[in-house]
Amino acid sequence: MNLRTLRLLEYNKIVKMLTGFAASPMAKRKCEKLKPRKDIEVITTLQQETRDALNRLYRQGNLSFAGLKDIGASLKRLEVEGSLTSKELLDIASVLDTALTAKKFGDAESMDEESKKALDSDSLHNRFAELVPLEYLSRDIHHAIISENEIADDASSGLKAVRRNIKLTNDRLHSQLHKLISDQNRQSMFQDNLITMRNGRYCIPVKQEYKNSFPGMIHDQSASGSTVFIEPIAIVNMNNQLKELENQELAEIEKILAALSAKAAAELTYIQYDFSALTELDYIFARAAFARSYKGSEPIFNTEGIIDIKQGRHPLLDTHTVVPVDIKLGENYNLLIITGPNTGGKTVSLKTLGLFTLMGQSGLHIPALDGSKLSVFDNVFADIGDEQSIEQNLSTFSSHMSNIVYIMNHVTPNTLCLFDEPGGGTDPVEGAALAMAILSHLNDMGVRCMATTHYSELKTFAMSTSGIENASCEFDVATLMPTYKLIIGIPGKSNAFAISKKLGLPDSIIEKAYQNIDSDTVDFETLIADLENSKKEIERDKAEIARYKEEARQLQERAKAKDDELTDRKNEILAKARADAAEILEEAKAMADASIRKYNKWTTNPNKADARVMEQERQKLRTKMDEYQQMSAEKRKQLKSEHTASDFKIGDTVHVISMDTTGSITALADSKGNLQVQMGILNASLPASDLVMIDTPKQKNNQAQVGSKRGMSKALSIRPDINVLGMTVAEAVMEIDRYLDDAMLAHLHKVTIIHGKGTGALRKGIHEYLKKQSFVKSFRMGEYGEGEAGVTVVEL
């Protein structure tokens, strides 16, 4: 890429911001060297890596690379079998610990299956999976080395023994010294009652005048000369011994470091891979974290020169104030000319396109909406800003023209060109002519180009030339402030007269200025104003249509929700009605069974029948029947028909509300709208308002199937025997009656009634009941092994 373009578009600032998100020095260096690529496959891979890393950041949180140290020099020393220092070994252990953390992060074991499956298929999965943490080596290093300057006593048995001897020798030496300085006969000789160290040996501060009286070796004296530091003769051997032990300690430490270095060298290939892979991951996650900071999205790349940036935000501007822009290029037109007042956002739009292209081709996401498209260009050329050079004696125009000449000599069809006011800084007529010639040449080559200008001639040129489109940066004349919105399809106005009038310039002067402009220019500016107003009206209409569509969608959703609610309510009411009906039927069956049993009891023993009790039972039945009829009547009152005569056809099954019965249509409606309905032997002419369509035969078959399913359910749950031990005859008969009903529904052919032997009264009562049941084919006493006289076997 052209280095001047990278500087003009402030690509170096993007790189600097990216570098701040890298943790390790190696990844920071990779970020600093980041340059746009030209191979679409490489670009796609880089973008995919950034996307997958960003996805993991959103799903799993941050991954720390703080422990990734620069161990490159240490690895080279291991290649030649060199021994590493304690710091170097700790740095290797830190890298291995980071590899372990990264591997666990890559496994995503704590996530749900769906998220884990998504992460397992991304482009980073293999990078994480192939890391080799070498936990044993990291553990050995941490066990032996406490810090850069401290080796653990347990690092080796030899080191532990040496340090134990050092401690013992130190204790003996200090004991001897304390005895010397505590000697009362020598107190006057000592400058201070303390033990000090000179040249690595323990000494006692002695006054100058007693140096010849105190036996020992002089190692130093004070600055004033009043004190000499003497090693007592009594501890010379112990000091020598201590020195030897310290040398042994250093030798043991060297052995430990050499042994750990040898272990690291044996795993050099894995350590080098971890170091390289973690550096690359740090670099990738830096790109992802950078994208997250400005809510970036992955652009869709193509090689057809098509650009479609949706709501793009310049990444170097304040995120709270930057105005998003939509930029399209390369599909219906290859060249876009932006006009409008100064500080209106033209140059920002120009830089946004150029910087997005550079960022995208570097593998970085762009701050725009999803679905934005960018093209891969071989080069990006830009001529932006005031490049006046005093040293080279170049004016603004000459400097710009020198740059344009360089661009024209190196441009190819697969190049993106960005011009900020081409032809500026010279005579407007000549400058406009030059700009038109340059842009026309680039258009003929098929180059993708974007340019800003104040020349009215270029607006006309764009309107009359195929492949070139006008655009403008919107300006609010009422507030004298730009809105920074890029409007494609309409050329901009300078608004010089409107701004001057707003600032207080007299109308007479503005009127004279108008007279100095030829009529064609005035007509053109008027046309631009009309176009701009029409564009605004269309935008307002589009916004209103979008609002109406949203309201219609919300109404549709509410209607669907209401319909679902009504359906649920209907199903709930029907379910309750069925439950109520089942309960009534069950209650009626129980009452009927009880009444029949009492009636059978009275008929078998007429002498014991009590007329008063029988009348009471009859009255209870009549009252209950009246209640059911009243409930039925109330339900009939509630039941309404919403059918019309045309809804019915001959053969339809209907419910007659007034008679609470079922019939079928035998004749269609007559002149009065009445239909002929056959109800058993009764035929009646009834209005449609008295009829309700009920289940068809097909539905009845479905109900029969439901009943069959209930029977099957009963067959799965019912036992082949019933135990009535300890019950009275009446209680046993009631239970057996219900049980046999269920057995019939379950299609059981043989059941056993367990009643016990006892006095035989219960067995006799049960047998009397069984004799009167038509569905009982036969019954007998139990045989040996079945319970004998204690059970009755019934065949249904």
Sequential DSSP letters for 51-92: HHHHHHHHHH-----TT----HHHHHHHHTTPPPPHHHHHHH
User: What distance in Å separates the CA atoms of residue 375 and residue 358, rounded to the nearest whole number?
Assistant: 10
Q: Between the CA of residue 9 and those of 2, 28, 417, 420, 619, what are the distances in Å?
A: 11, 22, 12, 12, 103
What the block records as the tokens of 515 is: 């007279």
Q: In this predicted structure, what is the pLDDT of residue 637? A: 56
189 contact partners, CB below 8 Å, separation of at least 6? 206, 207, 210, 213, 214
Tally the residues of the chain. Answer: 796
What the block records as the tokens of 437 is: 């010639």
Q: Cβ distance 98 to 275 under 8 Å?
A: no
Q: In this predicted structure, what is the pLDDT of residue 280? A: 96
What the block records as the tokens of 757 is: 């032997």
Q: Cβ distance 309 to 325 under 8 Å?
A: yes
Q: In this predicted structure, what is the pLDDT of residue 256? A: 93
Strand order across the beta sheet in which 196-198 lies = 196-198, 201-207, 227-232, 216-221
User: What distance in Å separates the CA atoms of residue 389 and residue 724, rounded to the nearest whole number?
Assistant: 117
User: Which amino acid is residue 455, in one-letter code?
Assistant: Y
Look at residues 719, 725, 736, 746 and name the one whose alpha carbon lies nearest to residue 779.
736
pTM for the complete prediction? 0.62
State whether residue 570 is helix, strand or coil: helix
Q: In this predicted structure, what is the pLDDT of residue 140? A: 94
Residue 177 phi/psi, 5-degree rounding, is -65, -45
Look at residues 796, 769, 767 and name the one whose alpha carbon lies nearest to residue 781.
767
User: Which amino acid is residue 496, in one-letter code?
Assistant: A
Q: Work out the angle between the directed axes of helices 135-144 and 86-107 (0-180°, nearest 10).
A: 140
Radius of gyration of the chain (CA): 51
Beta strands in 387-441 (DSSP E): 415-420
Q: In this predicted structure, what is the pLDDT of residue 518? A: 62
Look at residues 346, 422, 348, 349 and name the one whose alpha carbon lies nearest to residue 383.
422
| pLDDT tens-digit map of 647-671 | 888 888 888 887 767 788 888 888 8
User: What distance in Å separates the CA atoms of residue 237 and residue 173, rounded to the nearest whole number?
Assistant: 10
User: What distance in Å separates the CA atoms of residue 578 and residue 152, rounded to the nearest whole number?
Assistant: 82
What the block records as the tokens of 26 is: 């190696």
H-only helix segments in 610-685: 611-638
Q: In this predicted structure, what is the pLDDT of residue 393? A: 42
Beta bridge partners of residue 683, listed in sequence order: 678
Q: Between the CA of residue 239 and those of 158, 175, 195, 201, what are the distances in Å?
A: 21, 13, 13, 6
Beta strands in 506-613 (DSSP E): none
| pLDDT tens-digit map of 389-425 | 434 445 577 878 888 999 999 999 999 999 988 887 7
User: What distance in Å separates the CA atoms of residue 441 and residue 698, rounded to the nearest whole number?
Assistant: 79
User: What distance in Å separates the CA atoms of residue 399 and residue 389, rounded to the nearest whole number?
Assistant: 7
Q: In this predicted structure, what is the pLDDT of residue 275? A: 95
User: Which amino acid is residue 586, in one-letter code?
Assistant: E
> Which stretch of DSSP H or E encloses residue 488?
strand 481-488
User: What distance in Å separates the CA atoms of residue 309 and residue 409, rounded to the nearest whole number?
Assistant: 29
Q: Cβ distance 253 to 151 under 8 Å?
A: yes
Q: In this predicted structure, what is the pLDDT of residue 88? A: 94
User: What distance in Å separates the CA atoms of residue 710 and residue 760, rounded to the nearest whole number?
Assistant: 37
User: What distance in Å separates the CA atoms of residue 687 and residue 150, rounded to the nearest whole number?
Assistant: 107
Q: In this predicted structure, what is the pLDDT of residue 388? A: 43
Q: In this predicted structure, what is the pLDDT of residue 288? A: 95
The label of the residue with tokens 């033209």 reads 346
455 contact partners, CB below 8 Å, separation of at least 6? 423, 428, 431, 432, 435
pLDDT along the chain (796 residues), means of 10: 88 95 95 94 94 91 92 93 92 95 82 66 88 94 92 91 90 84 79 82 87 83 86 84 89 93 94 95 96 94 94 89 89 89 79 94 95 94 66 62 90 93 82 91 93 84 87 71 75 67 79 69 59 72 88 87 81 75 72 70 62 69 67 58 83 80 84 82 81 61 42 58 87 89 82 86 90 89 81 91
